[in-house]
Chains A and B, each alone.
Chain A
Amino acid sequence: MSFDKTTIARISRLARIATTDAEQERLADELGGILAWVAQLDEVDVEGVAPMTSVVEMNLKAREDVVSEGANAEGILKNAPKSAHGFFVVPKVVE
């Protein structure tokens, strides 16, 4: 698996992480190495094998669809880098 800077630029955009030119170069090498190493999974015969969806055998529980806790806007906003009037503040998104 060869990995180029264009691919790194594309996935870092998808992941919302800014990367510099030099970082893209280094990451192309590192990720290329890691993905070449995981390619050994191709040796495993998985014909007819179901992908794991539950780690231990159990049925997921359903709960009552009711409000249990929450309604703590003030407490939650205390951790926000920027807030006003009970809302999170972000850069302008609508002109």
Chain B
Amino acid sequence: MTPTDLTIAQARDLLAKGELSSMELVEAHIDAIEQNRELNAYITETPEKALAMAQDSDARRAKGEGNGLLEGIPVAIKDLFCTRDTLTTAGSHILDGFHPVYESTVTANMWRQGAVMLGKTNLDEFAMGSSNLTSYHGPAINPWKARGDDRRRVPGGSSGGSAAAVAGRLALGATGTDTGGSIRQPAAFTGTVGLKPTYGRCSRWGIVAFASSLDQAGPMTRSVRDAAVMLGAMAGHDPKDSTSADIAVPDFEAALDSGVKGMTIGIPKEYRSDAMAPEIETLWQQGIKWLEEQGATTVEISLPHTRYALPAYYIVAPAEASSNLSRYDGVKYGLRVEADDLLSMYEKTRAAGFGDEVKRRILIGTYVLSAGYYDAYYLKAQKVRTRIAEDFRHAFSHVDAILTPATPSAAFPVDEPPSDPVEMYLLDTFTVPVNLAGLPGLCVPAGLSGEGLPLGLQVIGKAFDEATVLRVGRAIEQAAGFDARPEGY
């Protein structure tokens, strides 16, 4: 097996047995990255850093040290995580040339566990998008194509570069961040596994902020086991993030194969609509059957406020973004457009530095927070958010996990995106409620569409119960036996 085809768990075992070196693993990935630049998965490649880190890892192992969870494993980092002295762009023009003087907590945790950085991956600008089309650095491309159709497809977003890199065998795993579906939707579009942990499981410190009450970092991998391993390396309490949970990080891999026998899985009726593509409905029914065949009980549940999640999200997220993005002022870092006075300098810098989608969201956020509108919009949306969280709380009083489709459709062509902003927002219909309630959600590849494109199922769990979510995900993965891969990768 070529080294780039291994899962993290397989590579880890070969490294431990001395049958593979981190250097060999990293060299194979650097080659693959060079040969697949048309995917535009990476904004910045860091081959020299990767080789140095691999050499260090092999040296640690030779000395009998190096027992980190990701020792010697090459990974890609979404370019939203600040990495010390390595260009960090957030996919935006306004951060041109920004080299952080500090390291995000999540990446620092991963380096401490022995991981090796291959580079920084492409994303929608400031993680605002579901297609990777809003990146200042051009769209990342999905390694998958529809059968008999040569059009380039989007890898989803915002963590589109990470998804393309993992699906295209350009990294064994990658970090993503998920504010409304930005890990799970690209995972579904690329046939990979994506886990958004519970809000507070991973520190947000050093991650370029989008919407602080929704943002959460998580792993993107090619197997559920790998997601469990990688989450273990990323997670943990951090005094630098006041919302980071001070609870122990369990061994997520330990209970992975315990199965779903005796579990009760909720099937929310509000996720079904007449507009749903028949193949998505079929996939969902298949998922229900797989879990029942393995001894789980499925019950219909009701999450009555589901349809209000997206509109609430499009008040809360832009409001928080408008506040967070006020720091880009042409003074402290990045782009600056000179002008005679301070106000004009701010206005011209921000006009030139932000793309259309980011501007749209900052302006919506500014409007809903402006004098006289706060109660009607932001406060109202936060009340609806309470309702949505209550829906989940009621459901979880009698179910262990919830199963839904991950996306309403498969990946669309790069040149034919939805034309209307709201239509684009609807791509996150099934993922957004999970962020509003702060819960963990996992996307697992479960089959192919009629056109031969990957489709995923989503498992939602109780707060801080990623272990159960991963167990259910593993059961689906085993039953689905998803072994399709994009041609040529």
Contacts and interface: CB of A to CB of B under 8 A. Distances in A.
Interface of A: 7-8, 11-19, 27, 30-31, 33-35, 37-41, 43-44, 46, 49-53, 55-58, 60-61, 63, 72, 75-76, 78-82, 88, 90-93
B108 to A, nearest CB: 13
A37 B347 contact: no
Nearest to A47: B383
Please list the 10 inter-chain residue pairs (A to B) with the smallest Cβ-Cβ separation, ordered nearest first. Answer: A51-B382, A81-B336, A55-B438, A79-B333, A46-B383, A75-B101, A18-B347, A18-B351, A38-B311, A15-B366
Contacts, number: 165
Contacts of A75: 101
A55 B213 contact: yes
B347 A16 contact: yes
Contact of B322 (A15, A55, A88): A15
Given A46-B383, A63-B239, 7 more contacts: A34-B422, A44-B387, A49-B386, A50-B383, A55-B243, A76-B332, A90-B331
Q: How large is the interface on B (under 10, 10 to 19, 20 to 34, 35 or more residues)?
A: 35 or more
Contacts of B430: none
A33 B386 contact: no
Contacts of B242: 60-61
B396 interface: no
A34 B335 CA distance: 29
Given A34-B421, A52-B385, A17 B363 contact: yes
B351 A19 contact: yes
Interface stretch (B338-346, B450-458, B474-482): B338-346
Interface in B24-68: none
B367 interface: yes
A75 to B, nearest CB: 4
Contact of A12 (B311, B312, B348, B363): B363
A86 B343 CA distance: 23
A76 B99 CA distance: 10
A63 B354 CA distance: 36
B412 to A, nearest CB: 20
Contacts of A33: 420-422
Nearest to B331: A88
Given A17-B347, A17-B359, A34-B422, A50 B386 contact: yes
A57 to B, nearest CB: 8
Interface in B350-382: 350-351, 354, 359-360, 362-364, 366-367, 370, 377, 379-382
B43 to A, nearest CB: 17
Interface string B80-107: 0000000000000000011111000000
A29 B420 CA distance: 11
Contact of B311 (A11, A14, A37, A82): A37
B77 interface: no
B271 interface: no
B245 interface: yes
Interface in B391-422: 420-422
A53 B383 CA distance: 9
Contacts of A92: 341
A88 B340 contact: no
Nearest to A39: B311
Contacts of B362: 15, 17
Q: Give chain A's interface secondary structure class.
A: loop
A56 B242 CA distance: 12
8 contacts: A7-B367, A8-B363, A15-B366, A38-B377, A40-B308, A46-B386, A52-B386, A79-B332
Contacts of B239: 61, 63
Nearest to A48: B383
Contact of B335 (A13, A15, A53, A81): A81
Contact of B339 (A39, A57, A82, A91): A91
B243 A60 contact: yes
B441 to A, nearest CB: 14
A38 to B, nearest CB: 4
B308 A82 contact: no
B384 A44 contact: yes
A11 B199 contact: no
Contacts of B100: 79
A58 B213 CA distance: 13
Contact of B360 (A31, A60, A80): A31
B200 A58 contact: yes
Contacts of B245: 56, 58
A25 B232 CA distance: 49
A91 B342 contact: yes
A17 B350 contact: yes
A60 to B, nearest CB: 5
B311 A41 contact: yes
Nearest to A7: B367
B386 A78 contact: no
B246 interface: yes
